[in-house]
């Protein structure tokens, strides 16, 4: 790591809102982060995160630091109470749904989870 | 799927032969190429079960009334099922023969064992539509399970058991049934070189992927009777169950314990029900990890049940004269003499669980060091005390049992 002196990691990972604003500023767009829950993965349900400028009828919009996260009603039921964060780890940086109180267990890659019934 | 359309002359011939057939006392006579047998008209099938040795090679068939059929229909059927089952959906994506698969929960435990058949028909074929053949006892649970994971998928889930029934045909010529097209009843009247209209005996089914000796499994309209060659005789579904048990093939909720059984312990990979190369599906993590550790200490095996004072069986032999009162599914099996040794503190001392049985045979999930090889009583697998012959087992109701490894299991080459 020492050889890459110009690679710096912020002491505290940037929050989801800051990172989203940064992406939009760089690309000159005003896109929102869509969080979807789909069936799939080894634990039954998986998160799908994508940048979008479309909104659907049943969307719920969350706004922070001038950035928006949109979630449809069906997905919201399964992630209610979670935090959307931008996680900066050695394995890679990504937006993640963390601390989902509706999830019972998750698979190794953290994209798939099972629901408490 | 459809028969070659006959030319006008052949069509006239066909109409003629149909009239002739209707007038004749023996309707629907055609050549069954492989066996030389004749087609049997539906009314000639005897409903009374005939007696056959369960592992004999006589041609027989049975309707399996203990099975239900759930239909999944819609453009997202394949990706949806691909994320839910242990086998590879690309095998059936474009129609053809069905596959065996299991539905697991997130912990990798079995919920249901099932056949997945592409519904090879309809005006929009290959419009994705699949029939799931499962134990009737858990059909509702399966529907609920599927609906929980449906979310936005464009699929319709419905129970089709009222309109469809599951059949099995086995015996020496059953292997020739699936995938071969046979001449229709007019074949004998076609001039040399003429086009012979052909049809398959069934559109939905497969050669049973679990074991060759189980023949062919297929789905028909509930009102229909299979059009099989006359060599095939109808028997009761119990005959199939006996044959299945003697081969050590588990099927249905009594053998696959809901939320408890594991795919490899239930021989699912021996029965071509698991694809270890496919991507994520519900319950994959534990399954693939177990596979790569390469160790399975228990498996479902056939057992012979006998009274404590009877002679010890040396190989699996069905006795139809016996009807033991059998213990419940999932009840414990302990080694003979374990009652005195139960102070060792290793749980209950159980080395297996009973699955299901009939007459004097059954299936049980047993630790492999307690399983006899099918040829004799020497130990074949297991880790404890190599060379020591495995002892016998006691069912929870006091009957004794001896577990045998099926001869068709993959064998290690002799050392």
Q: To the nearest whole angstrom, how far is the Cα of B102 from the nearest Cα of chain A? A: 14
Residues of chain A with C-beta less than 8 angstroms from the C-beta of B152: 38, 74
Residue A9 resides in a domain: no
Tell me the per-residue pLDDT of B307-352, one tens digit each, with 9 for 90 and over: 988 888 888 888 888 899 999 999 999 998 765 554 455 567 899 9
Residue with tokens 């399975």: B296
Which residues of chain A are at the B interface, by a Cβ-Cβ cutoff of 8 Å?
37-45, 74, 104-105, 107-108, 112, 114
Q: Which domain holds residue A25?
A: 16-115
Q: What is the pLDDT of residue B121?
A: 67
Tell me what pLDDT residue A107 has. 79
| Distance in Å, alpha carbon of A71 to nearest chain B alpha carbon | 14
What pLDDT does residue B1 have?
39
B229 secondary structure, DSSP code: B
Task: Check pLDDT > 70 for residue A105.
Answer: yes
Under an 8 A CB cutoff, do A104 and B106 touch?
Answer: yes
Superfamily of domain covering B21-295: Probable tRNA modification gtpase trme; domain 1 (3.30.1360.120)
* Residues B180, B183, B185, B186, Cα dihedral to 10°: 170
Strand order in the sheet with B60-63: B204-207, B216-221, B164-170, B60-63, B233-234
Q: What is the CATH number of the domain that holds A49?
A: 2.60.300.12
Q: Which residue of A has its CA nearest to B86?
A: A42
Cβ contact, residue pair A74, B151, below 8 Å: yes
- Would you state the pLDDT for residue A57? 87
ipTM for the predicted complex: 0.76
Question: What does the pLDDT read at residue B79?
Answer: 92
A90: pLDDT confidence band, cut at 50, 70 and 90?
Answer: confident
Of A42, A74, A108, the CB nearest to B281: A42
Q: What is the pLDDT of residues A22-81, one digit of tens each?
A: 899 999 888 999 999 988 888 889 999 999 988 888 899 998 878 899 999 999 999 999
Rounded Cα distance between B58 and B247, Å, is 16
Contact B285 A108 (CB under 8 A): yes
Q: Which of A34, A39, A57, A116 would you mutate first to test chain B, the one with the most B CBs within 10 A? A: A39
pLDDT at B36: 37
Residue A43 counted as domain residue: yes
Instruction: Map out the domains of chain B as residue ranges.
Output: 21-295, 297-404
Asked whether the bond before B126 is cis by omega within 30 degrees of 0, the reply is yes
Which residues of chain B fall short of a pLDDT of 70? 1-54, 121-126, 180-189, 197, 338-347, 374-389, 412-415
- Nearest-angstrom CA–CA distance, B356 and B364: 7
Give one DSSP letter per residue of B198-209, joined into a string: EE-S-SEEEE-S
B283, two tokens: 């319950």
CB contact (8 A) between residue A39 and residue B280? no
pLDDT of residue B3: 40
A7 by Cβ neighbours in 10 Å (0-12 / 13-18 / 19+) ranks as exposed
pLDDT of residue B215: 95
pLDDT 10s digits, B37-96:
444 333 334 443 344 456 788 999 999 999 999 999 999 999 999 999 999 999 998 888
Contact B151 A105 (CB under 8 A): no
> In chain B, which residues have their Cβ closer than 8 Å to the Cβ of A42?
106, 280-285
pLDDT value of position B83 = 93
pLDDT at B97: 92
Identify the pLDDT of residue B414: 61
Is there a domain that residue A7 lies in? Answer: no
- Identify whether A31 is part of a domain: yes
State the total domains in chain A: 1
> Does some domain include residue A11?
no
The answer as to whether A77 is a domain residue is: yes
Confidence (pLDDT) at B388: 57
Q: How many CB pairs under 8 A join A and B?
A: 41
Rounded to whole angstroms, how far apart are CA atoms B2 and B200?
9
Strand B371-372, strand B400-404: pairing: parallel
- pLDDT, residue B149, reads 93
pLDDT at B192: 78
**Subunit contact A41:B283, Cβ cutoff 8 A:** no
Q: Which residue of A has its CA nearest to B103?
A: A44
């Amino acid at each position: 790591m020492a050889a890459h002196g110009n690679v710096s990691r912020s002491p505290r990972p940037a929050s989801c809102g800051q990172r989203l604003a940064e992406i939009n500023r760089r690309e000159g767009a005003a896109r929102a982060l869509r969080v979807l829950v789909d069936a799939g993965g080894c634990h039954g349900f998986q998160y799908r995160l994508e940048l979008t400028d479309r909104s659907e009828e049943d969307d719920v919009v969350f706004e922070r630091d001038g950035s928006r996260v949109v979630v449809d009603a069906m997905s919201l039921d399964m992630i209610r109470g979670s935090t959307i964060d931008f996680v900066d780890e050695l394995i890679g940086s990504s937006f993640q749904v963390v601390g989902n109180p509706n999830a019972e267990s998750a698979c190794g890659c953290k994209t798939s989870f099972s629901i408490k019934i | 799927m459809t028969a070659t359309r006959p030319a006008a002359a052949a069509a006239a011939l066909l109409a003629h032969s149909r009239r002739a057939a209707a007038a004749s006392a023996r309707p629907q006579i055609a050549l069954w190429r492989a066996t030389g047998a004749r087609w049997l008209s539906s009314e000639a099938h005897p409903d009374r079960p005939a007696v056959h040795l369960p592992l004999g090679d006589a041609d027989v068939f049975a309707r399996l009334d203990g099975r239900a059929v759930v239909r999944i229909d819609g453009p997202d059927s394949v990706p949806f099922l691909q994320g839910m089952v242990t086998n590879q959906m690309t095998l059936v994506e474009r129609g053809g023969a069905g596959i065996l698969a299991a539905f697991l929960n997130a912990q990798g435990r079995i919920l249901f064992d099932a056949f997945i058949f592409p519904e090879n028909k309809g005006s929009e074929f290959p419009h994705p539509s699949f029939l799931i053949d499962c134990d009737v006892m858990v059909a509702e649970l399966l529907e609920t399970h599927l609906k929980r994971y449906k979310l936005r998928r464009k699929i319709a889930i419905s129970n089709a058991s009222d309109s469809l029934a599951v059949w099995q045909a086995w015996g020496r010529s059953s292997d020739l049934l699936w995938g071969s097209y046979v001449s229709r009843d007019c074949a004998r009247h076609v001039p040399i070189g003429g086009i012979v209209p052909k049809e398959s005996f069934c559109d939905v089914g497969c050669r049973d992927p679990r074991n060759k000796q189980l023949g062919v499994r297929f789905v028909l309209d509930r009102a229909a009777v299979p059009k099989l060659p006359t060599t095939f005789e109808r028997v009761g579904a119990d005959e199939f169950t006996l044959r299945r048990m003697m081969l050590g093939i588990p099927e249905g909720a009594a053998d696959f314990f809901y939320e408890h059984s594991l795919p490899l312990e239930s021989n699912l990979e021996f029965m071509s029900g698991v694809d270890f190369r496919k991507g994520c599906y519900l319950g994959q993590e534990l399954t693939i990890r177990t596979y790569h550790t390469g160790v399975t200490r228990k498996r479902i095996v056939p057992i012979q049940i006998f009274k404590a004072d009877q002679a010890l069986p040396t190989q699996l032999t069905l006795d139809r004269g016996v009807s033991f009162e059998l213990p419940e599914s999932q009840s414990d099996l302990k080694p003979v003499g374990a009652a005195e040794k139960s102070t060792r503190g290793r749980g209950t001392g159980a080395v297996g669980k009973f699955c299901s049985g009939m007459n004097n045979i059954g299936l049980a999930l047993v630790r492999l060091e307690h399983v006899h090889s099918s040829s004799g009583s020497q130990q074949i697998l297991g880790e404890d005390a190599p060379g020591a012959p495995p002892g016998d087992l006691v069912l929870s109701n006091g009957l004794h049992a001896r577990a045998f490894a099926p001869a068709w299991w993959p064998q290690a080459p002799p050392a």
